[in-house]
């Protein structure tokens, strides 16, 4: 199914980002049940549901051009959002190959790759790029290889070095994280960077998840969904820019809640890289305003129940506490069982 890319929209200042009806229809609504609790919700990343975000390993959508412009803006202000420790150079080339081959195969109307030995030609039509380079020689690209390719792919990337039975965050491009920082987590192990998460360690989630991840094989990627909420369609909610967006949580009122509050869903893919043995962790972020979300009544009802009953520790960690009740009150009108209960 061809991707129709929208003209430039913004994820800051005037926030012109909106989803088309097609984008709403393919939004990865993350709740299979009316309750939410942390779990090891990992499944094989096999292609399913043509047209959905699960069809391809790297999902490109209508926001591609805008998201790449937003990444460029973030990097201009803060180049430390991209980091590649020297021992991760082979992993960076692995990522170049993975993204170029998948995009060229899955979206031939937008991307193409010609390989003649180590002489490669990469064409990216939406960004008007035609690049000849020697695979493995960074001097033949305009910038470091991981930075080069992730400036052309939606979502964040962490490249994890695997050693001593653990994973270490030794490289990445992170310009749209949900309240964390690559510069802060750089060099940390799996449990170290997960230390702020409540409840999950006690439930054994991270012990089981790490064991699983260490055994991921080349050619057998896996995926999971994670979610939080964000005020405005703001992609860059990193620790570094907390001073720009943190206060917006106190702006939510019953009048503006539907347009201001967004459900933020991350489609995370974990794939073993063939040369470096690094683990790729990609985080594709999807934003949908409540007013867009409630166009699907089943989603509105379910989100109402999930948020109403979410454990306080998880709501606090996700930064929802100050406006959760306003969202729950708004969503109650879409929950047939809850409306009479509230009116009584
Ligand atoms: C949160 C990275 C895999 C479960 C986080 C955070 C980071 C992160 C940076 C934010 C922590 C903070 O608040 O500073 C990664 C990376 C992974 C990975 C790089 C791949 C190696 C997993 C897996 C699971 C998992 C496989 C579970 C099956 C969680 C949970 C949270 C979290 C439950 C809290 C999210 C929330 O409530 O919004 N992860 N993670 N992670 N991670 Fe992971």
Q: What is the DSSP letter of 216?
A: P
Query: Does ligand 1 come within 6 angstroms of the Cβ of 197?
Result: yes
Among the ranges given (2-6, 119-123, 256-260), the one the predictor scored with the smallest mean pLDDT: 2-6
Residue 180 alpha carbon, nearest atom of ligand 1: 14
The DSSP secondary structure of 223-249, one letter per residue, reads EEEEEEEEESS-S-B-GGGHHHHGGGG
Asked if the model's pLDDT at residue 118 lies above 80, the reply is yes
For the chain, the structural domain boundaries read 21-86+145-337
pLDDT at 342: 47
Residue 199 — left, alpha, or beta (φ > 0 → left; ψ -120 to 50 → alpha)? left
pLDDT at 344: 37
Asked if the model's pLDDT at residue 343 lies above 90, the reply is no
CA dihedral 28, 177, 271, 192 (to 10 degrees): -130
pLDDT at 338: 73
Q: What is the DSSP letter of 43?
A: E
Mean pLDDT to the nearest integer, 6-16: 98
Mean pLDDT to the nearest integer, 47-71: 98
For 213-271, write each residue's pLDDT tens digit.
Answer: 999 999 999 999 999 999 999 999 999 999 999 999 999 999 999 999 999 999 999 99
CB-CB neighbours of 223 under 10 Å: 20
The single residue of 151, 224, 284, 342 carrying the catalytic annotation is: 224
Mutation test of ligand 1: which of 183, 193, 203 has the most ligand atoms closer than 8 Å to its C-beta?
Answer: 193
State ipTM.
0.98
Query: Does ligand 1 come within 6 angstroms of the Cβ of 160?
Result: yes
Q: How confident is the model at residue 27 (pLDDT cuts 50, 70, 90)?
A: very high
Query: Does ligand 1 come within 6 angstroms of the Cβ of 213?
Result: yes
CA of 10 to the centre of ligand 1 (A): 27
Active site residue 308: no
Q: What percent of the chain has pLDDT over 70?
A: 98
For 138-177, write each residue's pLDDT tens digit.
Answer: 999 999 999 999 999 999 999 999 999 999 999 999 999 9
Q: How many residues does the chain have?
A: 344
- Round the average pLDDT of the chain to a whole number and report it: 97
């Amino acid at each position: 199914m061809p991707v129709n890319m929208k003209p430039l929209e913004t994820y800051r200042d005037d926030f012109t980002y909106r989803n088309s009806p097609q984008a709403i229809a393919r939004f990865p609504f993350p709740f299979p049940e009316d309750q939410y609790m942390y779990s090891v919700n990992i499944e094989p990343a096999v292609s399913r549901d043509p047209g959905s975000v699960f069809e391809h390993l790297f999902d490109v959508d209508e926001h591609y051009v805008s998201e790449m412009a937003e990444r460029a803006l973030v990097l201009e202000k803060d180049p430390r959002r991209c980091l590649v420790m020297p021992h991760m150079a082979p992993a960076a080339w692995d990522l170049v190959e993975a993204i170029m081959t998948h995009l060229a195969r899955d979206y031939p109307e937008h991307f193409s790759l010609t390989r003649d030995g180590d002489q490669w030609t990469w064409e990216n039509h939406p960004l008007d790029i035609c690049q000849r380079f020697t695979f493995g020689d960074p001097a033949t690209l305009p910038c470091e290889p991981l930075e080069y390719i992730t400036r052309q792919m939606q979502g964040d990337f962490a490249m994890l070095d695997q050693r001593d039975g653990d994973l270490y965050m030794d490289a990445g491009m992170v310009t749209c994280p949900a309240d964390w920082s690559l510069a802060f987590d750089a060099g940390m192990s799996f449990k170290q960077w997960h230390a702020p998460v409540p409840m999950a360690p006690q439930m054994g989630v991270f012990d089981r998840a790490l064991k699983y991840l260490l055994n991921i094989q080349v050619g057998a990627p896996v995926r999971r969904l994670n979610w939080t909420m964000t005020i405005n369609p703001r992609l860059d909610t990193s620790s570094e820019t907390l001073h720009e967006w943190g206060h917006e949580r106190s702006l939510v009122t019953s009048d503006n809640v539907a347009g201001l509050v967004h459900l933020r869903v991350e489609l995370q893919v974990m794939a073993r890289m063939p040369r470096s043995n690094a683990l790729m962790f990609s985080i594709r972020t999807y934003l949908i305003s409540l007013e867009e979300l409630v166009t699907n009544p089943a989603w509105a009802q379910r989100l109402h129940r999930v948020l109403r009953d979410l454990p306080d520790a998880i709501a606090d960690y996700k930064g929802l506490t100050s406006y959760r009740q306003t969202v729950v009150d708004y969503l109650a009108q879409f929950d047939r069982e809850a409306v009479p209960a509230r009116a009584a």
